[in-house]
Structure 1
Amino acid sequence: MGTLDVCPFIPVQNVTMEECVTCANLFAERLSDILNVPGHLYGKAAHIEERRSLPSVRSGEYEALAEKVCPDFTE
């Protein structure tokens, strides 16, 4: 079993947060399509309010993830 915990998209130079959010969505969608894994977005890219905070997403650890949230992108 493997997992990618976090892949941050952060504006560093000549990039806006909105562009980073777009990149995060495209990345999560492609990852889901290509590898057949669910994608969960958080922070500014979150599709629902409960996922704005990474600690709230991680509460209950991996075992509780399936019960707490449905993925933004699915296989």
Structure 2
Amino acid sequence: MRTGLTKKQKTTVIYFDEHSRIIEVQTHNTDLKKRLMAFAAKYPQCCRQTDDDEQGGLTFEIEKGRLSFRLTAPY
């Protein structure tokens, strides 16, 4: 999909704070969008799409505890 955005402008932003039970993910990353859409379809009580910016970016709300980060040690 051509969006007119440069690769530098195609960002992924993950926002959460200590108060809210919701994580907001805004992304242009195709693989992450597909994974989030599949997760939202399978578990609508835990994840839902909230916005489509019409430039290839999607925004999702996810219950805290459903998203994890994995750090890998260098070899």
Pick the TM interval, shorter chain. Answer: 0.3 to 0.5
TM-score, normalisation: structure 2 = 0.33
Structure number having the greater helix percentage:
1
TM-score, normalisation: structure 1 = 0.33
Structure number having the greater strand percentage:
2
